Amino acid sequence: MWVGICLEFIEFAVFFVVYFTARWHHPQEFREGAHRLWTWGGVGITAAMVTSGWLLTRMLAAMRAGRQRAAMAMLALALLAGLAYPAIKVFEWQWNLAHGLTAGAGIFVVVYWYLTINHFIHASWGLMGMAWCLARLGAGGYSAQDHRGLVALATYWHATDLVWLMLFALFYAFA
C-alpha cells in the first residue's frame, strides 16, 4: 500500500506542478477563478472526506480492541460519509456546467477539472476499498491480531484526504 500511496503522491506532485505552472503564467485567471466555483461544494466534500477518515480511525481503534461489531459499524459509517463525496462532486460538476465552467472557460477551470477528476478517481478506489473491507470484515476476514487490510485502507483514505485538502486550499480557498 505504501508503494501505491507514494506513487499517488508523485502523480499529484506532477499535477501540482501543472497547477503552479499555469498559475505562474496566468495569475489573474487564478485570482478570479476561486470566486467562480461553488465554494459550499468544496466545503461539503472536505467535511465528507475528513469525517470519513475520522470514522476509519475509530474503526481501527475498535478493531485493535477486539470489538469487531463496533469496527463494522464505524466502517459502514465511514463508507456512508465517504459516499457523500461523489454525490456532492457530481452535483458540483452539474452546477459548474450550468454556470459555464467548461473547458472553454479558461486555464483555471481546465486545471480545476483535470485535478478534481483525478482526485475523484482516486477517492472512488478508496470507496470501493471500503465496501470490499466491509464485506470481508462481515465475513470474519479480519481479527484484532490481523487487520492489515483495514490499516492499508485507512492509510490510503488518509492520503486521499491530504490530496483533497491541498486541492481545496489551492482552488477554493487561496486561488
Q: How far is CA 114 from CA 46, 145, 147, 167, in A?
A: 18, 41, 35, 11
Enter the CATH code of domain 2-173: 1.20.120.80
Q: How far apart are CA 139 and CA 24, in angstroms?
A: 52
pLDDT tens per residue across span 8-29: 889 889 988 999 999 999 999 9
> 43 is written with which cell numbers?
466545503
Residue-range domain boundaries for the chain: 2-173
pLDDT tens per residue across span 17-76: 999 999 999 999 998 888 899 999 999 999 999 999 999 999 999 999 999 999 999 999
- Average pLDDT for 126-145: 96
| SS (HEC) of 40-92 | HHHHHHHHHHHHHHHHHHHHHHHHHCCCHHHHHHHHHHHHHHHHHHHHHHHHH
- For the entire predicted model, the pTM comes to 0.90
Q: How far apart are CA 82 and CA 130, in angstroms?
A: 9
The answer to whether the CB of 123 falls within 8 A of the CB of 86 is: yes
Of the candidates 58, 71, 57, 54, the one whose C-alpha atom is nearest the C-alpha of residue 143 is 71
pLDDT tens per residue across span 76-90: 999 999 999 999 999
pLDDT at 92 (0 to 100): 95
Of the candidates 51, 39, 134, 132, the one whose C-alpha atom is nearest the C-alpha of residue 85 is 51
